[in-house]
Amino acid sequence: MHEPSTLPVMVIDDEPHLRITASQTLELAGYTPHCFESAEQALEVLSADFPGVIVSDIRMPGMGGMGLLHELHRRDPTLPIILITGHGDISTAVEAMRAGAWDFLEKPFAGDQLLDVVRRGIEKRQLSLENNRLKAELEVQQAALGPRLVGRTAIISRLAAMIQRISQVEADVLLFGETGTGKDLVARAIHERSARRNNPFMAINCGAVPENTIESELFGHEKGAFTGAVERRIGKFEHANGGTVFLDEIESMPLALQVKLLRVLQERSIERLGANEVVPLNLRVIAATKVDLKAAAEEGRFREDLYYRLNVVTLPLPALRERREDIPLLFQHFAVVAANRSGLEAPILDNQAVAALLAHDWPGNVRELRNLAERYVLLGAAFDYRLDMLLEGAAADTQEPTLPRQVELFEKSLISQSLSRHHGRVTEVCRHLGIPRKTLYDKLKKHGLHADDYRHSSDP
């Protein structure tokens, strides 16, 4: 996040003494004020990616504050605009809020009132700009070939370069990494960047397929090959012909089947169960494991010849604790994805939240981080967006909440976000949520929420 000293605040007012007073207050607080005596002057210099907020009087010669509000919202609906109203002009203030003003100040106002509303506006603006940047990155990712690794550390840059290099050669690959390090994503990235991208990508979790059916799943069978084989089945290897087969948790494959897999890798052909016909294959095999296969082979838990056949190109995937500098970026990336999917906002991380993320050990790696980001977006408001509470499970049953508890927390989060968005105005919250006033009050009581807690001192 930017330091206050780098963040500009536009003050627009035709009264010189108000511009001078506001400018001095903002400077003392570390902001960079830019003062204008008319809206027209401010519009001439305002950039599209202006990182600060606008503070403008409503009544001015020429373009007034309401006209400025409409023009700025036409340019950028996310830009926070704070309007200054005359004493007792509540109806104008309400009209401004309905038109999309971030907040308003009533003359005469104290310096701390100005700083409070500017601080909150700056936080909103930073969140909007960060989310816009991340959404743009997501659009680039969707347009690019294959999944993209998110991160800026040297270890991730090297991994991305290796993926690009490996994808261009026809070699089987062994991925090695802890649970949750993204082995599936890397396998898909290799496939999508290769010449096989238009052919099937078949992912198989060797630990999830029952041992008595895995051979049929992989290689297929003919009708009558065994009891229950009422028709021919095309196996996953044959279905992926021309593309890529991803064998996750290869260490879980039964030893007897490892012999047949070795033959497939060497001969590039299969025989369906119950058939004599050999089916030639043109495919790449990517295997993944979270254990040391060499050690497993030495202990007799994995075939040594298969290990050496798979070990032609081995790609180690780093644990999240080895790339801690990427954690905040990854978290915000996952939060934006979850927010886009759910229609909610993805709050930007403050220093306390970043510290909580960096202090965690992440035994579940990127998968654990992604799950936390999704809970943060969906349920964070119920915990005042305290990441340390979500991480440590400080509240009862929040670590692994049951489905009814998840629904309850989600409901509380939605109500809390609506209260915050509408500054505790019950009528507007009811309209936003589409529920009667009595129902809202019942739910406020149920969740221990109070509308007054979300009102600001300047609210009517």
d(CA 458, CA 83) in angstroms, rounded, equals 12
Whole-number pLDDT of residue 424: 84
Query: How far apart are alpha carbons 353 and 336 in whole angstroms?
Result: 16
What does the angle CA 320 – CA 247 – CA 138 come to, to the nearest 5 degrees?
50
| Closest residue by Cα to residue 208 from 184, 241, 234 | 184
As given in the structure block, the two tokens for residue 329 are 């970026």
For the ranges 158-162, 204-208, 270-274, 333-337, the maximum mean pLDDT occurs at 158-162
Question: Residue 395: its pLDDT value, please?
Answer: 34
Phi and psi, residue 456, nearest 5°: -100, 160
- Fold (CATH) for 154-316: Rossmann fold (3.40.50)
Note whether 7-131 and 154-316 share their fold.
yes
pLDDT in tens, 169-218: 989 999 999 999 999 999 999 999 999 999 999 999 988 888 778 888 88
Least confident of 328-332, 377-381, 388-392, 397-401: 397-401
Give domain limits for the chain. 7-131, 154-316, 324-454
Summarize the confidence of residues 10-17 as an average pLDDT: 92
Task: Report how far residue 424's alpha carbon sits from residue 440's, in angstroms, rounded to the nearest whole number.
Answer: 12
* pLDDT at res. 198: 93
CATH, domain range 7-131: 3.40.50.2300
- For the ranges 51-65, 150-164, 217-231, 268-282, the lowest mean pLDDT is seen at 217-231
**Worst-scoring range by mean pLDDT, 344-353, 370-379, 387-396, 400-409?**
400-409
**pLDDT of 242 over the 90 cut:** yes
Arithmetic mean of pLDDT, 439-458: 78
Strand pairing category for 201-205 and 278-280: unpaired
Percentage of the chain exceeding pLDDT 90: 37
Largest CA distance in the chain: 95
Axis-axis angle for helices 437-447, 403-421 (nearest 10): 120
DSSP 250: G
* pLDDT band (50, 70, 90) for residue 393: low
Neighbour count for residue 23 (Cβ, 10 Å): 17
pLDDT for the residue numbered 376: 87
Residue 22 or residue 423, greater confidence: 22
How many H-runs (helices) and E-runs (strands) does the chain carry? 19, 12
pLDDT of residue 85: 82
pLDDT tens, residue by residue, 284-333 = 999 999 999 999 999 999 999 999 999 889 999 999 999 998 898 889 88
Confidence of residue 396 (pLDDT cuts 50, 70, 90): very low
Across the range 436-440, mean pLDDT stands at: 84
Mean pLDDT of 138-147: 56
Contact 232, 220 (CB under 8 A): yes
Respond yes or no on whether the N-terminal peptide bond of residue 108 is cis (omega within 30° of 0): yes
Rounded distance, CA 201 to CA 104, Å?
55
- With 80 as the cut, is the pLDDT of residue 135 above it? no
Q: What is the pLDDT of residue 88?
A: 59
Q: Give the 3-state secondary structure of residue 132.
A: helix
CB 435 within 8 Å of CB 426:
no
**Residue in the block written with tokens 């401004």:** 96
What's 13's DSSP letter? -
* pLDDT for res 399: 41
d(CA 217, CA 237): 9
- What's the CA angle centered on 228, arms 227 and 231, to 5 degrees? 115
- The predicted model scores a pTM of 0.63
Q: Residue 81 belongs to what H/E stretch?
A: strand 81-85
Are β-strands 269-271 and 278-280 bridged in parallel, bridged antiparallel, or unpaired? antiparallel
Taking residues 327-346, what's their average pLDDT?
83
Nearest to 21 by CA among 38, 33, 5, 8: 33
The more confidently predicted of residues 328 and 10 is 10
